[in-house]
Amino acid sequence: MSDAFENREKSYEAKYKMDEEQAFKVQARRNKLLGLWLADKFGIEGEAAEAYAKDVVIADLDEPGDEDVIRKVMADIAEHSADISEDTIREQLETLESTAFEQIKAEFPEALGGDHQGTAG
């Protein structure tokens, strides 16, 4: 009987790990998409746009939540004298989260990878 409980516990741990990894990937992709969207608004292209998008992703590592990203991009918007409001950024984050989720789901269709196995064997 304890094997069944251990297997169930491992399964829950694996599911939690998978959900957390997916949430992280979605948030990072959303931030990258926001960075690329803003780069386009700023007239930044090519490798410079990719680098800017990466900076937006990295900005999200400062603290939990979206406020660190919003502070970063609002400062960049002011620097570029772009006419983009904070409300627009927040709306864009919501829209891009759905897009990011669909992209990640398409790229990682396997429900559980080898490192997420809940049971032995």
**Residue 106 to residue 69: CA distance in whole angstroms:** 25
Domain assignment present for residue 77? The answer is yes
pTM of full prediction above 0.95: no
Residue 32 lies in a domain: yes
- At 111, the pLDDT band (50, 70, 90 cuts) reads low
Sign of CA pseudo-dihedral 67, 101, 97, 118: negative
Read off the CATH number of the domain in which 104 is found.
Answer: 1.10.790.20
pLDDT digits (tens, 9 = 90+) for 41-69: 999 999 999 999 999 999 998 788 899 99
Q: What's the pLDDT score for residue 27?
A: 94
How high is the pLDDT of residue 101?
Answer: 93
List the domain range (segments joined by +) for residue 7.
Answer: 2-110
Whether 121 is covered by a domain: the verdict is no
Cβ atoms of 8 and 16 closer than 8 Å: no
Structurally, the chain folds into a number of domains equal to 1
Mean pLDDT value of segment 26-54:
97
Determine, yes or no, domain membership for 66.
yes
Query: Is 7 among the domain residues?
Result: yes
